[in-house]
A and B are shown apart, each in its own frame.
Chain A
Amino acid sequence: MAKIEALGVDVGSTTVKMVAVNDHGEMVWHMLEEADPRAADQVSRFLAEAARRFGSLNGVPLVATGYGRKLVQQAARQVTEISCHAMGIYAELGHGGTLVDIGGQDSKAIRISDSGKVIDFAMNDKCAAGTGRFLENTAGRLRVPLQEMGQDALSSADEVPISSTCTVFAESEVISLIAQGIPVPAILKGLHRSLVKRVAAMISSVGLTAPLMLSGGVVKNPAIRAMLAEETGSAVTLPDHPQLMGAYGAALYALRIAE
């Protein structure tokens, strides 16, 4: 059985992720679940599972990140998802660049130096326009399962522009497009474009340093990947586990404590 040296947990708004690392900082184990409103209990369960597999966790420090990081009382330290994502992706890919993380609640663009430091970052403003929620809400109207949205959008040669970036306005715009008989994939493509443009604006506000790296749950959507590359003119790079970068970074912070 592998020995683990440190743990990281990312308590997000839609999912909770935990990662364990060995003394080389390599990811040796992870766990992912839908977020439970009782976050503290959920983290305890994750820890119990880790203890079951690796034995006692005494002396194995835990760092918490994400939306619910303050709820994790077992954590030795709380670090923001900005720093953790940067730390995780740098360890995994071994280079700097501009990282985009599109989450359900928040999106962020982070510029990372050659030595792995955060140089600058930007987050979406108060409205949901640049987040996964934007697609979820509007696509809900179209009755397309979330997992198929991206593929459907890419399958369409046509694209109708969605002018409203406000989630509420966009929804009413979608309703009227449906009423006009516009095919669903063309609407979907327009919706993706709208989101991607918003994210591209965030990228340029911190500055695009190639390569463009992606993380977060929404990255599983192929249309987002393809259209971001198109919109920014830069190839995109993905880590093996895009959803785990925050937790992985947290674990690496914890490893520093262990050392």
Chain B
Amino acid sequence: MQTAAVRIPGRIENILSWKEQGGGIAAVFPIHYPRELLRAFGYLPVEVWGPPVVESVSSAAHVQPYVCSIVRNGLSFLQSGGLELADILLVPHACDSLQGLGSLLLDFIHPRQPTLTLYLPRGRRESDLSFLAQELHALYRRLAEIHGDSPTEPELMSSIRREEAADASLAQLHRQRSRLPLSDLAFYQLIRSREYLPAERFSQLASEALDQAGPITERGIPLLLSGIVPEPMALLNLIPELGGWVAADDLASCGRRLYPAGTSQDPFLRMAERIIHAPPDPTRGSSIESRHQHLLSLAAESGARGVVFHDVKFCEPELFDLPDLRRQLAESGLPSLLLEVDLNDPLSHQLHTRLQAFLEMIV
């Protein structure tokens, strides 16, 4: 994978080199989880966001067609041997469908690897923070059981600091994107390498990219992209082709995971703080108003002239908020467009027309 400026190691290359050094691989399903905890046990987290180029037939024996393609593809990928290099599987609780997937793996499908789950509380109260810290502690104990060895508190803290540094670089890339000599596609390839690279390697790539930051360049009508994941990646070629560019995002896989650094000296509480205080996300129970405010501030900072909601079909957490969000954004002078995709389908002609018409409308 070659971008204008930075060479990003590929997924497989990276996994193999990690394994060669004696490390383990944790295949992780969406969305939120503590990378630092897995790394402290020597597991490199590699994320599975419904790989699009996979035959989706094998999952059809386990999940109904009205379940989204992220879950269907993830399961098909597992069943077709795509996760053979993984030593453990982690399915965080993001929604009813991912809850179902975790339960199916544990109760019926029984993959070769141990399956771990993590419940993420849906509020931002003291009780949510303390529950999440304990839930992370339970995950720690489970990992210790599987691994046989367990990291000390100082080891955990240093793992946390390493991820905090990588997240700080990630946030800087997001803020500096208009100064980077990267196309939309290259930019997202770079930031999404956080989904599989070790934190220290990612930080290094980020700083190489940031070194090349120049003056702000005009590159088309600035858009704010909201949704789950920028897939199919062809979207990121289509947007510039039609005269737009992604100036900021509120994507579950990207911008909603700009975890701030924690403050507590207790490692479990600190990991919990990072997740709880991340930007608003409906899958973590954020209110519509907090999401509205967040989108407005993203648009204001980036100069975005419109919002594109790019959602995976059947995604209830996204769909419920849309009517109120879109109405309020419109009242604030920010028009929006809804695109729905199935990860297995090519971008439709109609989607092309909608996006082009939207850009014609806001130009």
Chain A residues with CB under 8 Å of chain B are 67, 79-83, 106, 117-121, 123, 125-126
Contact = CB atoms under 8 A, between A and B. Distances in A.
Contacts of A118: 357, 360-361
A95 B340 CA distance: 32
Contact of A82 (B335, B349, B357): B357
Contacts of A121: 357, 361
A69 to B, nearest CB: 9
Contacts of B122: none
27 contacts: A67-B349, A67-B353, A79-B360, A80-B353, A80-B356, A80-B360, A81-B353, A82-B353, A82-B357, A82-B361, A83-B357, A83-B361, A106-B350, A106-B353, A117-B361, A118-B357, A118-B361, A119-B361, A120-B330, A120-B361, A121-B357, A121-B361, A123-B353, A123-B354, A126-B340, A126-B348, A126-B350
A161 B350 CA distance: 30
Interface in B313-363: 330, 335, 340, 348-350, 353-354, 356-357, 360-361
A83 B242 CA distance: 14
Contacts of A79: 360
Contact of B350 (A83, A117, A119, A123): A123
Given A79-B360, A80-B356, A120 B350 contact: no
B237 to A, nearest CB: 15
Contacts of B340: 125-126
A17 to B, nearest CB: 17
Contacts of B354: 123
A82 B349 CA distance: 14
A80 B354 CA distance: 8
A120 B357 contact: no
Among the interface residues A80, A81, A117, A121, which one has the most CB atoms of the partner chain B within 10 A?
A: A80
Nearest to A67: B349
Contact of B335 (A106, A120, A125, A126): A120
A8 B330 CA distance: 32
A241 B360 CA distance: 24
> 6 tightest A-B contacts by CB?
A82-B357, A80-B357, A83-B360, A118-B361, A80-B356, A80-B353
Interface residues on B, range: 10 to 19
Contacts of B353: 67, 80-82, 106, 123
Interface string B264-305: 000000000000000000000000000000000000000000
Nearest to A65: B353
A215 to B, nearest CB: 15
A13 to B, nearest CB: 9
Contacts of A80: 353, 356-357, 360
A123 B358 CA distance: 12
Nearest to A110: B357
A118 B354 CA distance: 13
Nearest to B353: A80
A106 B353 CA distance: 11
A79 B360 CA distance: 8
Nearest to A80: B357
A22 B43 CA distance: 71
A39 B330 CA distance: 38
A81 B348 CA distance: 16
Among the interface residues B330, B354, B357, B360, which one has the most CB atoms of the partner chain A within 10 A?
A: B357
B185 to A, nearest CB: 20
A27 to B, nearest CB: 22
Contacts of A67: 349, 353
Nearest to A66: B353
Nearest to B359: A80
A126 B313 CA distance: 10
Contacts of A119: 361
Given A117-B361, A119-B361, A126-B340, 5 more contacts: A80-B356, A106-B350, A118-B360, A118-B361, A120-B335
Nearest to B323: A205
A172 B50 CA distance: 34
A82 B350 contact: no
B329 to A, nearest CB: 12
Contacts of A117: 361
Interface in B66-120: none
A189 to B, nearest CB: 29
A121 B337 CA distance: 9
Contacts of A126: 340, 348, 350
A126 B335 CA distance: 22
Nearest to B313: A126
A247 B250 CA distance: 38
A123 B350 CA distance: 9
A120 B329 CA distance: 13
A125 B313 CA distance: 11
A120 B340 CA distance: 17
A121 B354 CA distance: 9
A119 B340 CA distance: 21
A67 B354 CA distance: 12
Contacts of B360: 79-80, 82-83, 118
Contacts of A83: 357, 360-361
Contacts of B348: 126
A149 to B, nearest CB: 25
B20 to A, nearest CB: 45
Nearest to A83: B360
A128 B348 CA distance: 14
A120 B360 CA distance: 11
A81 B330 CA distance: 23
A83 B360 CA distance: 7
A174 to B, nearest CB: 23
